[in-house]
Structure 1
């Protein structure tokens, strides 16, 4: 790479894209890398503020921004993703199907802390749709030492930074609890909400029991649904500390491993998450507080997509939801394109 006066650059080869910005009209390359500069190009280059310009002179061990962007892209991309071509040293990665985006945050931080290179992503552990933009990569200077790129490759290893886990279409058993519903005192308005949320990720209700506040019956119902092939069991109601609320006890009595009873999320503090493990299966069991029925977005919206993608949630991850765990109940809901659940 060599710096020369633009007016002396006729016949030389551009070593980077030249961007033109016209407010309200366009932003993009007016000349692309590799373009051989012509006499008539000089006024255009001067009009975009290029009194001096870099021309390409290949040096051993030095990578152009486009070559480096390819290396960064390779560090990120994995199955179920597509990539753009390289433009102005940048490559974009998009989802090739609906799914849950997972990010190796430690590796991403290594790259972005290494200097002279960057990868920007959308937030991990959230659902994305086919065609959604996931990440963009580029180096900061026009050229970079090849050895530096190889060093960061070695540090992060062979596992891609991004992973997209498709939604295979899960079947959920629903156990509706509460004397008020069982005896017909009120209508069950909870189950229709769950059905709609499952549909967002290609899921469906495969079994539904309505039971009174008898923890023994609730336990038996959960276990039968699992034995009959339910991929998860969702228990509605009975999650508070009232004496008639027996759902947490019923879930515990299944022998499931309780991850957490309670979460630092509003709405959804009385949420319970457990995993029932048997014969190689790991079935999520959730106790859903009443807010899931009447609030637009709750803790359930943060955990359900992960369950639908077979992505296990840990107690530490639940604890980390406190920062960003307050839904602001906006007049117009834009979730997941908002800060809810995005503390890390």
Structure 2
């Protein structure tokens, strides 16, 4: 690449896109990389403020920004993503399906720590819709050394840096609503409709529903029954606090669940429970939901549910990391998942 006066550049080949901005009319590339400059282009270039331009000068040790962006795309793109054509040295990735977007943070950060390379993505574990933009990437200079991009590839490793976990379809969901007052009909069950609404957002319904009093053995029996019926997920509502008559955690444990966590550093949702039951080669997530899920706009359940639907097994360490950003700001207008309450 070399710089020269625009008036002297007729016949030369542009080595990068040139954007023309006319307020209220256009902001787009007026001349594309590879364009052979003609005499009639010179006045237009000058009107764009291009008294000097950069034209292609063959150098086997360098890569053009578009070619370098293509390397970054190869390092990032995974299944269920589509890529844009390079434009002004930038490539964007878009979701092909609904799912949960994830980044291999350790390797990703190492790549972004390198000079002249930049990749920006949506937040970690963000639920996304098909057609939603996931990431954009580019190198900073117009040309970059090939050796530098080889270093980038070495740091990134062989596996894609990004991942989109699609939601599993046709999952069977069982719900156990606990509480003697609900079981005996003293009050209306207002918790289950909330769960049904949240499941509906992912195309799911409640396949089996059981009511249980506050006797732990009865709740345990219902959980086991739902698992035997082939439920892919069991959700228990109520009885999750530390009061003596709140016995749902014990019932989940006695039903054979290996408890990942009882309690989470999120507000709302501190008394959340997650466990997994092994049954006939399957691993069934069982969740205990505290009362806040019934009345709060967003809770830990909204963070966990999308990932459970993808089939991901969530670890205790991940949940314990929720504390950073785990305080919902209770905005008057909720913008979740475009907010800080996101992991």
Q: TM-score, normalised by structure 1?
A: 0.96
Instruction: Report if aligned partners of 1:98, 1:166 keep a CA contact under 8 Å in 2.
Output: yes
- Residue in structure 1 matched with residue 70 of structure 2 by the alignment: 70
- The residue that corresponds to 1:183 in the other structure is 184
What does the per-residue CA deviation read over 1:107-151, in whole Å, with 9 as the maximum and x for residues that have no partner?
A: 211211111111111112121100000011111101111122122
Aligned to 1:204: 205
Matched position secondary structure for 1:108: helix
Provide the residue aligned with 2:297 in structure 1.
296
3-state SS of 1:184 partner = coil
Displacement, 1:202? Answer: 2.1
Q: 2:266 aligned with 1:279, yes or no? A: no
Q: Matched residues in 2 for 1:282 and 1:50: separation?
A: 63
Is this contact kept in 1: 2:83–2:92, CA < 8 A? yes
Residue pair 2:125, 2:342 contacting (<8 A) in 1 also: no
| Residue in structure 2 matched with residue 133 of structure 1 by the alignment | 133
1:1-344 equivalence runs, <5 A: 1-169=1-169, 170-342=171-343
Stretch moving more, 42-51 or 245-254: 42-51
CA distance in 1, matches of 2:276, 2:261: 10
- Contact 1:83–1:92 at 8 Å: present in 2 too? yes
Query: For structure 1, which segment, 22-31 or 191-200, has the greater mean C-alpha deviation from structure 2 after superposition?
Result: 22-31
Separation in structure 2 between the aligned mates of residue 23 and residue 324 of structure 1, nearest angstrom: 39
Q: Which runs of 5+ in 1 are unaligned?
A: none
CA-to-partner distance for each residue in 1:64-123, whole Å, 9 max, x for gaps? 001111110011111111111111011111000111112111121121111111111111
Matched position secondary structure for 1:114: coil
How far apart are 1:25 and its partner, in Å? 3.7
Deviation for aligned residue 1:57:
1.4
Alpha-carbon contact 1:168-1:202 (below 8 Å) kept? no
Q: Which secondary structure state, in structure 2, belongs to the residue aligned with residue 138 of structure 1?
A: strand
Rounded Cα–Cα distance in structure 1 between residues aligned with 2:23 and 2:136: 23
Which string of whole-angstrom CA distances, capped at 9 and with x for unpartnered residues, describes residues 187-242 of structure 1?
Answer: 01111111111121222211110000010111111122112111111000001111
Asked if structure 2 preserves the Cα contact closer than 8 Å seen for 1:62 and 1:143, the reply is yes
Q: In 2, distance between residues paired with 1:127 and 1:335? A: 10
Cα deviation digits, residues 21-63 of structure 1 (max 9, x gap): 3344432211110111122222222232222211011211311
Aligned residue pairs, count: 342
- Aligned to 2:113, the other structure's residue is in SS state helix
| Aligned equivalents of 1:23, 1:122: Cα separation in 2 | 29
Cα offset, 1:157, TM superposition: 1.8
Deviation sequence 1:232-265 (CA, Å, 0-9, x none): 1100000111111100111111221111111111
Secondary structure of residue in 1 paired with 2:222: helix
Gaps of 5+ in 2: none
Cα distance between partner residues in 1 of 2:23 and 2:313: 47
- What is the deviation of 1:319? 1.3
Q: Alignment RMSD, CA only?
A: 1.3
Q: Distance in 1 between matches of 2:185 and 2:55?
A: 79
